[in-house]
Amino acid sequence: MPIIRVAINVPVDTLFDYLAEDASPNDIGLRVSVPFGKKKMIGVIVAISASTSIDAEKLKTAYCIFRETKPLPASLLELFQFCSQYYHHPLGMVILNSLPAKMRHNKTIQIKKPASDQSFELTPIGKQIDVAVIPARNRVARRLLSAFLQTPLLTETQIKQISPRANQWLPQWIQQGWITVKPASAKTTATAVTSPPVLTTDQEAAVQAITSHLKKFNCWLLHGVTGSGKTEVYLRTIESVLKQGKQTLVLIPEISLTPQLETIFRSRFAATPMVSLHSGLNDTERLSGWLQAQSGVAKIILGTRLAVFTPLPNLGLIIVDEEQDSSFKQQDGLRYSARDMAIFRARQHSIAVILGSATPSLESYHNALSGRYHTLRLQSRAIRNAVLPQIHLIDTRTSKIQDGLTEPLIQAIHQCLIDKNQCLIFINRRGYAPVLLCKSCGWSAVCQRCSSRLVVHLRDKQLSCHHCGHQESFPRACPQCGNQDLAPFGQGTQRVEEALAASFPAARILRIDRDSTRRKYAWRDMLQAIHKQQVDILVGTQLLSKGHDFPNLSLVGILNADSSLYSTDFRASERLFAQLMQVAGRAGRAQIAGTVLIQTEFPSHPLYQALQHHDYDGLAHILLTERKTAEFPPYVFQALLRGEAHHLNQVLDFLNQARKLAKPPKTVELFDPVPAQMHRLKGLERAQLLIQSTSRKQLQDFLTKWWMQIQVLTNHKVRWMLDVDPLEF
Ligand code: ADP
Ligand code: ZN
Ligand code: ZN
């Protein structure tokens, strides 16, 4: 009888053997239900063999192999294998966690027949309808109409994605002559709906370079200033790939960016089946998108980090947008980098991968300088006459700050409102104020479970920890001295919003941060309001800075950026620069000239100077030189052995024991265990040990051996894991 080797979602790095009489080599990559201890578990078959080292009497028989879906392709299993080895994470956990939740259940999947997918098109009459004629209580109808007004041709699937109940409005609207039905057969693949712009010389060169080498592995670093039209380069290369009948995987850092990109892609490739895969979907939606990708029906797959593990039988191109973004690296469990996995996948399939950014990560920039990646530069803004914004520094040592805002910034906002343009005030801290302080003894409210302060959320009279989610109500008096004069200290988005409302009572102000966008369609509604000019002043965190295109934004004000200038994290400057470039890049993208005002105490700091001159290369060279001298990445490769437990001593003891076991070669260096920068999180103490080497290969070889040795250290009090290429310390 054949033996199947099964990967199961358990924290042991081994495969489990079972008898399966009906198994054949075609079943590799299928899900299987097996007995595991006293439980029934789901696994994935990764190999079939004729023999096993398990004793005959101990060998169990699999319950059943699920054959309703196609198996995971061999190349994907190979990717999982690589991922498991490189990040030192059990294969079964790697595989099972990559699957949609419904595939992790121990039962057959009900595959619904896909919708006929006829399309509906807005008529000239429909185009005249104002969303306001629909009563506000019919929220779904309003959303549907706005969607039509943005993209006049929508498929049934797209309509269902707006809301499962959205299609109930269609018959009535057809009758009213607002929309017409387009049969599914009327569609052809890869026809442009919106007419594409004439490419700029830089775009043309980039598209030419990429599309003439599509069938060969190449990593292209598409380095283009904000507003240079990177998206258009993506669209043209995707078009080329669609013509070959192949799939494109587009990875983006944030779920909030999906609606905007989705709209752009849909209006260019209206007839092309496309799916989005991100954590905002429910289990059914996610499964359905995943299956469409796996079957090859979906030609464009737009997703966040996890989408890199989607089975794609006909992959022709991978795009990683905003490649420098740290959200591509998962920060718990399997600590993988989706960008790096994307590159591995492109190499596997001998296809192109595009890393797009205005401020590439120093790792990628270094790879481009050394010739491992090919650089494509887009030097100027794509829209004719649009120029990069003017950046000015407001010295806060001479300009007094009131409620977080200086007089020159207030003046500029005032002028912006008179000109009927929009402005954006950026402050990367949500809540009202970062600290609640006792004015008489200096006590401040801290989280009991984390080494962090509690943030003041004035509106709901709560103090909240942004690390663990803990909330408590305001204390009546200082717990230390009894004084009742407790005051919020510093600025958060809510306080800035309040201050702006006081200064500009007639202005329409919209705050965009994680609190205000929590509701499911909040983002979409807010973006629409901005595009329809229903907002004058935007106040927001980095949520706003990424990728969004606001054509009427002429002024950006940046508050409180200084705090990251002198951080102990060696990547802080790189990140701050990328973030500020991105925010600054929101200004003046169309016909309006943009201005950026930065309030700072350190106007002569090299980072601000580089920013002012839009000089990424200048700063990158300074930072790379520093990294080289200090032996930091990208000149060395790093890994962290992380541990957490109830007491710091337990963690440090464990790390010291692990260190004693290590027999590193000369090229691999182990440092002393130290507490993590955030040493307490969610009630656990955390510490870590840094390992680094100039050779990635030697580091890997060492980690593999060492990992096995650490396994033997039985210390149940400490939870530990290896973090390869760590971004957080
Ligand atoms: P990036 O992602 O590089 O910051 P976008 O892709 O958002 O820039 O493009 C910025 C703006 O330029 C968009 O409004 C886009 O429609 C426009 N655009 C892109 N390419 C062209 C072009 N060749 N001609 C005119 N406008 C363009
Ligand atoms: Zn006090
Ligand atoms: Zn906390």
Tens digits of residue pLDDT in 418-463: 999 999 999 999 999 999 999 999 999 999 999 999 999 988 889 9
Centre of ligand 1 to C-alpha 231, Å, is 7
Return the ligand 1 atom nearest residue 226 CA: 4
The two tokens of residue 147 are 């969607």
Ligand at minimal distance from the CA of 446 is 3
Return the ligand 1 atom nearest residue 199 CA: 23
Cα separation, 94 vs 34, in Å, equals: 18
Amino acid at position 623, single letter: L
Pairing of strands 553-558, 595-600: parallel
Centre of ligand 3 to C-alpha 644, Å, is 15
Q: Is the CB–ligand 1 distance for residue 588 below 6 Å?
A: no
What is the residue-averaged pLDDT of the chain?
92
> Residue with the nearest Cα to atom 2 of ligand 1?
230
211: left (phi over 0), alpha (psi -120 to 50) or beta: alpha
Q: Is the CB–ligand 1 distance for residue 203 below 6 Å?
A: yes
204: left (phi over 0), alpha (psi -120 to 50) or beta: alpha
Q: Which helix (H) or strand (E) segment is 48 a member of?
A: strand 39-49
Burial readout 567-595 (b: 16 or more C-beta within 10 A, e: otherwise): eeeebebbbbbbbbbbbbbbbbbbebebb
Cα separation, 348 vs 339, in Å, equals: 14
Cα separation, 127 vs 124, in Å, equals: 5
> Residue with the nearest Cα to atom 20 of ligand 1?
229
> Residue with the nearest Cα to atom 19 of ligand 1?
229
Cα separation, 596 vs 612, in Å, equals: 9
Q: Which helix (H) or strand (E) segment is 141 a member of?
A: helix 139-150
Q: DSSP state, 173? A: H
Question: Who contacts 362 (Cβ-Cβ below 8 Å, separation ≥6)?
Answer: 574, 620, 623, 624, 627, 633, 634
Closest CA to 329 of 305, 358, 357, 293: 305
How far is the CA of 139 from the CAs of 143, 149, 525, in angstroms? 6, 15, 11
Is the pLDDT assigned to residue 274 strictly greater than 80? yes
pLDDT value at residue 190: 42
Q: Is the CB–ligand 1 distance for residue 197 below 6 Å?
A: yes
pLDDT confidence tier of residue 590, bands split at 50, 70 and 90:
confident
| Contact call for residues 640 and 706 (beta carbons, < 8 A) | no
How far is the CA of 1 from the CAs of 21, 31, 33, 50, 60, in angstroms? 5, 19, 17, 7, 12
Q: Is the CB–ligand 1 distance for residue 560 below 6 Å?
A: no
Q: Please state, as a whole number, how many other Cβ atoms lie within 10 Å of the Cβ of residue 467.
A: 16
Cα separation, 449 vs 468, in Å, equals: 8
Centre of ligand 1 to C-alpha 531, Å, is 16
Q: Please state, as a whole number, how many other Cβ atoms lie within 10 Å of the Cβ of residue 485.
A: 10
Q: Is the CB–ligand 1 distance for residue 264 below 6 Å?
A: no
The two tokens of residue 342 are 């994307």
> Residue with the nearest Cα to atom 16 of ligand 1?
229
Ligand at minimal distance from the CA of 455 is 3
Centre of ligand 2 to C-alpha 457, Å, is 20
| Structure confidence by residue, pLDDT tens digits, 155-181 | 888 888 888 888 889 988 988 889 988
Amino acid at position 578, single letter: A
Centre of ligand 2 to C-alpha 441, Å, is 4
Return the ligand 1 atom nearest residue 386 CA: 12
Cα separation, 261 vs 307, in Å, equals: 16
| Structure confidence by residue, pLDDT tens digits, 512-570 | 998 888 887 888 788 889 989 999 999 999 888 776 778 899 999 999 999 888 888 99
pLDDT confidence tier of residue 189, bands split at 50, 70 and 90:
very low
Q: Is the CB–ligand 1 distance for residue 226 below 6 Å?
A: yes
Q: DSSP state, 307? A: G
Matching residue, tokens 């007491």:
647
Q: Which helix (H) or strand (E) segment is 488 a member of?
A: strand 486-489
The two tokens of residue 185 are 């057969």
pLDDT value at residue 187: 43
The two tokens of residue 421 are 């343009």
Q: Best substitution site from 198, 221, 231 to test ligand 1's pocket, by max atoms within 8 Å of Cβ?
A: 231
| Structure confidence by residue, pLDDT tens digits, 636-670 | 999 999 999 999 999 999 999 999 999 999 999 99
Residue 688 CA, distance from chain mean position: 25
Ligand at minimal distance from the CA of 378 is 1
290-304, 318-332, 373-387, 686-700: range with lowest mean pLDDT: 373-387
Q: Is the CB–ligand 1 distance for residue 582 below 6 Å?
A: no
The two tokens of residue 540 are 């927001």
> Residue with the nearest Cα to atom 10 of ligand 1?
227
| Structure confidence by residue, pLDDT tens digits, 291-345 | 999 999 999 999 999 999 999 999 999 999 999 999 999 999 999 999 999 999 9
Question: Who contacts 686 (Cβ-Cβ below 8 Å, separation ≥6)?
Answer: 642, 643, 644, 651, 675, 676, 678, 679, 680
Centre of ligand 2 to C-alpha 680, Å, is 24
Q: Is the CB–ligand 1 distance for residue 356 below 6 Å?
A: no
Matching residue, tokens 């040795």:
709
pLDDT value at residue 445: 95
Q: Is the CB–ligand 1 distance for residue 223 below 6 Å?
A: no
Matching residue, tokens 């200048």:
618
Q: Is the CB–ligand 1 distance for residue 535 below 6 Å?
A: no
Q: Is the CB–ligand 1 distance for residue 200 below 6 Å?
A: yes
Centre of ligand 2 to C-alpha 463, Å, is 17
Q: What's 608-664 look like in SS3?
A: HHHHHCCCHHHHHHHHHHHHHHHCCCCCCEEEEEEEEECCHHHHHHHHHHHHHHCCC
The two tokens of residue 169 are 């409005």
Sequential DSSP letters for 196-253:
PPPPPHHHHHHHHHHHTTTTS-EEEEEEE-TTS-HHHHHHHHHHHHHHTT-EEEEE-S
pLDDT confidence tier of residue 95, bands split at 50, 70 and 90:
very high
Q: Best substitution site from 379, 549, 592 to test ligand 1's pocket, by max atoms within 8 Å of Cβ?
A: 549
Cα separation, 710 vs 453, in Å, equals: 35
Cα separation, 239 vs 248, in Å, equals: 10
The two tokens of residue 128 are 């005249």
| Contact call for residues 603 and 405 (beta carbons, < 8 A) | no
Cα separation, 636 vs 643, in Å, equals: 23
Ligand at minimal distance from the CA of 550 is 1
Is the pLDDT assigned to residue 116 strictly greater than 70? no
pLDDT confidence tier of residue 113, bands split at 50, 70 and 90:
low
The two tokens of residue 702 are 């060492």
Is the pLDDT assigned to residue 404 strictly greater than 70? yes
Q: Is the CB–ligand 1 distance for residue 227 below 6 Å?
A: yes
Before 114, cis peptide (omega within 30)?
A: no
Q: Is the CB–ligand 1 distance for residue 575 below 6 Å?
A: no
Ligand at minimal distance from the CA of 464 is 3
pLDDT value at residue 186: 42
- For 286, the 3-state DSSP assignment is helix
Cα separation, 638 vs 103, in Å, equals: 34
Cα separation, 696 vs 673, in Å, equals: 21
Is the pLDDT assigned to residue 191 strictly greater than 80? no
Centre of ligand 3 to C-alpha 526, Å, is 30
Ligand at minimal distance from the CA of 681 is 3
Cα separation, 236 vs 242, in Å, equals: 10
Centre of ligand 3 to C-alpha 335, Å, is 22
Q: Is the CB–ligand 1 distance for residue 383 below 6 Å?
A: yes
Q: DSSP state, 502? A: H
- For 558, the 3-state DSSP assignment is strand
Centre of ligand 1 to C-alpha 121, Å, is 26
Cα separation, 537 vs 539, in Å, equals: 7
| Structure confidence by residue, pLDDT tens digits, 493-513 | 999 999 999 999 999 999 999
Centre of ligand 1 to C-alpha 253, Å, is 19
Q: Crossing angle for the helix pair 258-268 and 522-531, nearest 10 degrees? A: 70
57-66, 144-153, 221-230, 519-528: range with lowest mean pLDDT: 519-528
Mean pLDDT in residue range 233-255: 96
Return the ligand 1 atom nearest residue 203 CA: 23
Ligand at minimal distance from the CA of 382 is 1
Is the pLDDT assigned to residue 141 strictly greater than 50? yes
133-137, 542-546, 583-587: range with lowest mean pLDDT: 542-546
Cα separation, 31 vs 378, in Å, equals: 46
Centre of ligand 2 to C-alpha 603, Å, is 35
Cα separation, 204 vs 144, in Å, equals: 36
Centre of ligand 2 to C-alpha 487, Å, is 11
Q: Residue 688: beta bridge partners?
A: 642, 674
Q: Is the CB–ligand 1 distance for residue 229 below 6 Å?
A: yes
Matching residue, tokens 């039985």:
714
Centre of ligand 1 to C-alpha 226, Å, is 9
Cα separation, 358 vs 426, in Å, equals: 19
- Give the predicted TM-score (pTM) of the model: 0.88
Centre of ligand 1 to C-alpha 230, Å, is 7
Ligand at minimal distance from the CA of 443 is 2
Centre of ligand 3 to C-alpha 682, Å, is 6
Q: Best substitution site from 383, 592, 616 to test ligand 1's pocket, by max atoms within 8 Å of Cβ?
A: 383
Mean pLDDT in residue range 351-377: 97
pLDDT value at residue 117: 67
Q: Which helix (H) or strand (E) segment is 413 a member of?
A: helix 407-418
159-163, 234-238, 403-407, 553-557: range with lowest mean pLDDT: 159-163
The two tokens of residue 723 are 């973090």
Closest CA to 516 of 610, 430, 643: 430
Centre of ligand 2 to C-alpha 442, Å, is 6
> Residue with the nearest Cα to atom 25 of ligand 1?
383
Phi then psi dihedrals of residue 714, to 5 deg: -90, 105
Q: Between 195 and 217, whose confidence is greater?
A: 217
Q: Residue 540: beta bridge partners?
A: 426, 512
